[in-house]
Structure 1
Amino acid sequence: MTTREQHPTPSKDEIALLEPFERLGLDRIVLVQTASQAREACAELADHAVWGFDTESKPTFFKDQVSDGPHIVQLATLQRAWVFQLLDPGCRDQVAALLANADHVKAGFGLGDDTKRIVAKLAVEPAAVLELNTVFRERGYRKDMGVKGAVAVLFNRRFLKSKKAATSNWANPHLSEAQLVYAANDAWAAGRVFEMLGLR
């Protein structure tokens, strides 16, 4: 029996030395809040077989506190990203339909919790979800890569993540520009990783 070759995962210190990975600017990020905006987003996303995928939930601060997230669902193509707020019932319904659509791959990192929360909140089981950490494990990386490790390995670049944005209030009806950039780029980078892995 042959043992699969193991590849080292870059450390935080090694990643910190790399040049920054490019990011989507606000001109390529679409905030989706209403049913009509969601319909437009669905029409554009329908032309792409693969979507980068992520969600954001308002953080919980107590041990037994249960999150009522996700509050945001992000889907991205290689050209742009859509940040869906789930406050409007019509928008929520269309996001649920997108996630349940098995004709489009939804690629992302650490999607186990996201999927459980989506089932609880939107009453749909996301279809055709691809956990990119699993792909890296199959290729001989022992640890979960996450988006930072994957971008370092595949692009030799440092993926920028703001801790302040990560732990911000994603349930806020008015998202800041920093929140939009953070959320959109998480999904967009997952799509870039999918493409670079040659999984099409």
Structure 2
Amino acid sequence: MQKTISKEALSELPLQHFEGDVVVVEDESKIEELVRELEQHSVIGFDTETKPSFQKGKVNKVALLQLATSDQGYLFRMNKTGFHPALVRLLENQDIAKIGVGIRDDLRGLNRLVPFKHAGFVELQDYVKQVGIEDTSLRKLAGLVLHFRVSKRQRLSNWEAPHLTPSQVIYAATDAWVAIELYKKLTALFPKEEVQTLSI
């Protein structure tokens, strides 16, 4: 396993994105049912998006919570639905592993909406350091471990827009899906390495 990957090597890899079904959730009344679907899985991918602030000192609230299985993406538009109690329940469930990259900031942002006690979160940046991988961004990990690259073009787009564009939907679902694919591949490559969850 390579420890690093150059920008040049990364740019030569094929571009990949999530190709499963994606549910964009803007109706609060549907959240409980969708969370029950997610609760059937022991491992899910996790990410959030926040509208970028170009004003010094101003931090916007989390606008989107992305959760994914290997073939299904769920995009919860928090700016429209609020932080539903069913989502809090899911994020506090220690029996469901929530996998992400750089998730401490995501959790801080969610805690500004509703304080909760996160449980079962796995930070892949911590995990890969244990096996000697030095490049720990989601993009570079996808290149090193999965041998494809993901687009970051939509990262600074408006996540509070009235309607998400198809490109935003694919981008957001891909980030959560890549996390779960990385986890599956890494645990297969390094089966003896202990997977630790973030402490509260």
Could you list the runs of 5+ residues in structure 1 that have no partner in the other structure?
1-5
Pairing partner for 1:14 from 4, 9, 12? 9
Q: Return the offset for 1:192.
A: 0.6
* Residue equivalent to 1:96: 88
What are the residue-to-residue correspondences of 1:51-200 with 2, within 5 Å? 51-67=44-60, 69-86=61-78, 87-89=80-82, 92-143=84-135, 145-162=136-153, 165-198=154-187
TM-score (norm 2): 0.87
The alignment of Structure 1 onto Structure 2 pairs a total of residues equal to 188
Q: Which amino acid aligns with 2:121?
A: V
Cα deviations by residue, 1:88-121 (Å, 9 ceiling, x for unpaired): 24x6332222212222111010111111111111
Distance in 2 separating the partners of 1:7 and 1:20: 19
Q: Return the offset for 1:32.
A: 1.2
TM-score (norm 1): 0.87
Could you list the runs of 5+ residues in structure 2 that have no partner in the other structure?
196-200
Distance in 1 separating the partners of 2:18 and 2:181: 12
Distance in 1 separating the partners of 2:38 and 2:24: 14
Q: Return the offset for 1:123.
A: 1.6
Distance in 1 separating the partners of 2:176 and 2:4: 21
Question: Contact 2:51/2:159 (CA < 8 Å) preserved in 1?
Answer: yes
Q: Which amino acid aligns with 1:19?
A: P
Pairing partner for 1:44 from 37, 40, 43? 37
For 2:62, what is the secondary structure of its paired residue?
A: coil
Distance in 1 separating the partners of 2:5 and 2:134: 11
Q: Which amino acid aligns with 2:118?
A: P
* Residue equivalent to 1:33: 26
Question: Contact 1:148/1:158 (CA < 8 Å) preserved in 2?
Answer: yes
Moved over 3 A (4+): none
Q: Return the offset for 1:33.
A: 1.7
For 2:55, what is the secondary structure of its paired residue?
A: coil
Cα deviations by residue, 1:61-84 (Å, 9 ceiling, x for unpaired): 1221122x2110000001111000
Question: Contact 2:39/2:90 (CA < 8 Å) preserved in 1?
Answer: no
Q: Which amino acid aligns with 1:176?
A: T
Q: How many percent of aligned residue pairs carry the same amino acid?
A: 30
Distance in 2 separating the partners of 1:61 and 1:49: 38
Distance in 1 separating the partners of 2:22 and 2:92: 23
Distance in 1 separating the partners of 2:23 and 2:4: 33
Cα deviations by residue, 1:125-152 (Å, 9 ceiling, x for unpaired): 3211111011110111234x12211111
Question: Contact 1:56/1:70 (CA < 8 Å) preserved in 2?
Answer: yes
Distance in 1 separating the partners of 2:156 and 2:89: 28
